[in-house]
C-alpha cells in the first residue's frame, strides 16, 4: 500500500462507522415500530419478539454488505 493510499483510509473508516451506526439505529427503530403496530394486528406487544423480527429481517442486507468487502464476490 503506497503512502498516498492512506489519505483515503480515515474518511472511509468514518463513513463505514457512520453507516453501521445508522443501520443499527434503523433496526432499533423498526423493532419499536413493530412493537407498537403489533396491537393493531391483534398481536402481543413484546419488545423482545419485535426486535427479533427486526434483526432477522436486517440479516440479509448485512451479509450481502460483508460480501462487498471481497471484490470478486460483489454483485454488480
Query: pLDDT by residue (tens digit) across 21-41?
Result: 999 999 999 999 999 999 899
Supply the pTM of this predicted model.
0.74
| Percent of the chain whose pLDDT exceeds 90 | 47
Give the model's pLDDT for residue 41.
Answer: 92
Residue located via cell numbers 453501521: 20
All structural domains of the chain with their residue ranges: 33-76
Residue 65 CB coordination number (10 Å): 13
The answer to whether 31 and 50 have CB atoms below 8 angstroms apart is yes
Amino acid at each position: 500500500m503506497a503512502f498516498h493510499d492512506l489519505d483515503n483510509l480515515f474518511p472511509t473508516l468514518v463513513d463505514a462507522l457512520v453507516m453501521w451506526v445508522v443501520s443499527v439505529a434503523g433496526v432499533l427503530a423498526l423493532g419499536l415500530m413493530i412493537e407498537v403496530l403489533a396491537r393493531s394486528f391483534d398481536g402481543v406487544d413484546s419488545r423482545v419478539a419485535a426486535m427479533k423480527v427486526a434483526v432477522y429481517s436486517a440479516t440479509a442486507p448485512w451479509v450481502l454488505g460483508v460480501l462487498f468487502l471481497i471484490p470478486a464476490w460483489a454483485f454488480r
